[in-house]
Chain A
Amino acid sequence: MDFLTAFLRAQALEALLSEEALTRVSREGRDAPPERPLVPALAAAASLRGGSDGRGDLFSLRVGSPAAALAFGATPEILLRQALARATAPAQGRDAGGLPTDWERGWVGPVPLPGALMEVMAGVAMAVRMRSEPRVALLVDDTAGSGSGDWHEGLNLAVVCQAPLVVVNHDVRGRAADAWMSPMRDRADGYGFRVRNAKDSEPWSVLARCREAVAAARAGEGVQVVDVEAVPDVTPDQLVAALRGEGVEDARLTALRHEASVEMAAALQRVVAEPVPDPGAIRPATSSSQPSQAARELHRVRTPRPWS
């Protein structure tokens, strides 16, 4: 699948996720999410080897577009099930987690803890290196996370261990919490990672830098960072124009958009019809202490419940 088609599919799914997820999972009253950094996430996913055979690369998105996971083998149905908290979702409604975790496919589900996910992906990459596997672990993140101690600890550990970790960082330092963060190029020497720079207004350049970084990590050159500068006021149409280049005629572009829209709408229709979780499906985590059946009987018999 070419990069333009991947972009249009992800864009179509993004639109549904933004609108449908907010209205169908009892999140009324919350603001719509900000515009998502689709370009770095999409380029990151497209630069990896798919993991459906269980031996491909490993991909995680702390921030970014869950829809970009389409470029890494996810289907719109799976992503919609997660977002709409269906019983059929991998997390069965217990977690939103835009990209569900599936170790065979190489998907590492995100958690909204910037440092923790950096640590986990560092460990994933360490395990790859310990086994001498030709795989790469890639995390899409943004500068907001880089202020936390855990983020530093995870990245530092990966660098020290020469782990094959690629961090695609969306440099959104214009935002309040991110304004205090230094650019990655200023931190590279201190940590000992290689950094490549690109702008999110130039998707082909982002893709090229991601591919270079992945190749370097796979070649044993340790941690690689792609720092993607967020260029303000870039419209989706400008991105499409950049991806389209000179090679795609108007009619073809219209057809691609239509196909993506139809595909995603059909997926949504199917998923919406799927059941929500049964409240009885709440189960304890693995180690919760549960009384035996005999104990439950004892409890019922010996302890009156005046409130019931």
Chain B
Amino acid sequence: MTAPTPEHVTRTRLGEPVTFLEAIAEALWEELERDPSVFLMGEDIGTYGGAFKVTRGFLDAFGEERIIDTPIAEGGFTGAAAGAAHMGLRPVVEMQFMDFISPAYDVLTNYIATSAYRGAGPVPLVVRGPVGGGNRGGPFHSQNVEMAFFHTPGLKIVYPSTARDAKGLLKAAIRDDSPVLFEEHKGLYRAPDLREVLPDEDYVVPIGKARTAREGTDVTVVTYGLMVHRSLAAAEALESQGVSVEVVDLRTLLPLDEDHLVECLQRTGRMLVVHEDTRTGGIAGEIAIRMNERAFEWLDAPVLRVTAVDAPVPYAAVLEDAFLPSVQDIVEATGYLARY
């Protein structure tokens, strides 16, 4: 490799703190270096360096055989990635915005997710990209797509909330033999508060394991992605009111770490699920029924949820702010549960 290493993938090697976006870039870079079967494909990821510049400088370093600019054809290049994965390669597909994954829904759900089950072999690929609102992106650049795929056996869905997890989970996803959807919240990409120094070693975070982001004894708040940070802020606010809030970061949505949630519920007896995705058919409903099935006797209050409104993501700031769950929403719901 003769091209210079881009600055944004060298911070950990220099012992410097990295942003969420830089952690993702480091994971991709290190996996490309580690395994020659890994390659990237997506719209404008090469010459342009990606819409969010995650892959800036990658083309010069790894060449056009491994950093492949594609036509605007999400179904086409996701399906082609499946073919390449069958042949022993490990493609990482970038959706410029995850909103654009819908044209690939057919190949992801009908072909890729069923492949191993049908005896057609594993499809080790990752589909990653930016999700989420708060950036005034409007209906087509702000969606959360997890629940469109949550119902599909054969897929894994990962949604990190910290730089450390983003890097470790993305590496785990690339090395996994199952197809993995990897959601990256845009609001986390360059958040200054999320900068952290990462281990200067090859590490992975196992898929399928939730983490307790904050200990607490009165109410368990289950969440993921950007909402982890809003929930932590809410927990902080409630602490001054004498309410001890536990915050669980799911990290992986499919498979869901159900055991971890049951253990938490057995301690606190109260659970709030918070997600940025819309309410109807959201993951909160699935979690609530699983707790109902497995831990009903420990419940001291109904499982409640704080979610986005059942609407497309609006563009106007005042509308989008009303659409998204706020810290105050979480404070109020958690406080209600604590008093229940």
Contacts and interface: CB of A to CB of B under 8 A. Distances in A.
The answer to whether A and B come from one shared complex is: yes
Interface in A283-301: 283-292, 294-295, 298-299
Residue of B83, B155, B254 with highest tally of chain A CB at under 10 A: B83
Contacts of B216: none
B281 interface: no
Contacts of B296: 302-303
A120 B154 CA distance: 17
Interface string B86-119: 1111010000000000010011001101101111
B106 A126 contact: no
Given A120-B111, A149-B75, A130 B294 contact: no
A109 B120 contact: yes
A18 B154 CA distance: 32
B118 A154 contact: no
Interface string A21-43: 00000000000000000000000
Contacts of B297: 302
Contact of B294 (A137, A290, A303): A303
A287 B106 contact: no
A18 B82 CA distance: 31
A123 B86 CA distance: 9
Contacts of A126: 80, 83-84
A302 B294 contact: yes
Interface in A247-292: 283-292
Interface stretch (A68-76, A95-103, A186-194, A196-204): A95-103
Interface in B30-66: 39, 65
A96 to B, nearest CB: 10
Contacts of A127: 83-84, 86-89
A299 B294 contact: yes
Contact of B65 (A90, A109, A130, A284): A130
Given A119-B76, A150-B75, A302-B294, A288 B153 contact: yes
Contact of A285 (B91, B113, B256, B258): B113
A154 B111 CA distance: 14
B256 A120 contact: no
Contacts of B113: 285
Nearest to B87: A127
Nearest to A123: B83
Given A115-B106, A298-B262, A157 B76 contact: yes
Given A97-B118, A103-B87, A299-B294, A122 B153 contact: no
B70 A157 contact: yes
Given A124-B87, A303-B294, A91 B75 contact: no
Contacts of A108: 86, 120
A160 B71 contact: yes
Contacts of B75: 115-116, 119, 149-150, 153
Contact of A120 (B71, B86, B91, B208): B86
Given A90-B119, A120-B86, A302 B295 contact: yes
Interface residues of A, number: 57
B278 interface: no
A287 B255 contact: yes
Given A103-B87, A289-B258, A122 B114 contact: no
A93 B116 CA distance: 13
Contacts of B78: 119
Contacts of B71: 153, 156-157, 160
A111 interface: yes
Contacts of A124: 83-84, 86-87
B119 A91 contact: yes
B202 interface: no
B153 A287 contact: yes
Interface in A135-168: 137, 149-150, 152-154, 156-158, 160-161
Contacts of A120: 79-80, 82-83, 86, 107, 111
B153 A295 contact: no
Nearest to B89: A127
A67 interface: no
B155 A150 contact: no
B86 A113 contact: no
A124 B81 CA distance: 8
Given A150-B79, A153-B75, A94 B84 contact: no
B116 A285 contact: yes
A290 B294 CA distance: 13
22 contacts: A91-B118, A103-B86, A115-B75, A116-B79, A117-B111, A119-B78, A120-B111, A122-B80, A125-B83, A126-B84, A150-B79, A154-B76, A156-B73, A157-B76, A157-B80, A285-B116, A286-B117, A287-B156, A288-B154, A289-B255, A299-B293, A302-B294
Interface of A: 89-92, 94-95, 97, 100-101, 103, 108-109, 111, 113, 115-128, 130-131, 137, 149-150, 152-154, 156-158, 160-161, 283-292, 294-295, 298-299, 302-303
Given A295-B259, A302-B295, 9 more contacts: A95-B118, A103-B87, A118-B79, A122-B76, A124-B86, A127-B83, A137-B83, A158-B80, A295-B294
Interface of B: 39, 65, 68, 70-71, 73, 75-89, 91, 103, 106-107, 110-111, 113-114, 116-122, 153-156, 177-178, 208, 254-256, 258-259, 262, 293-297
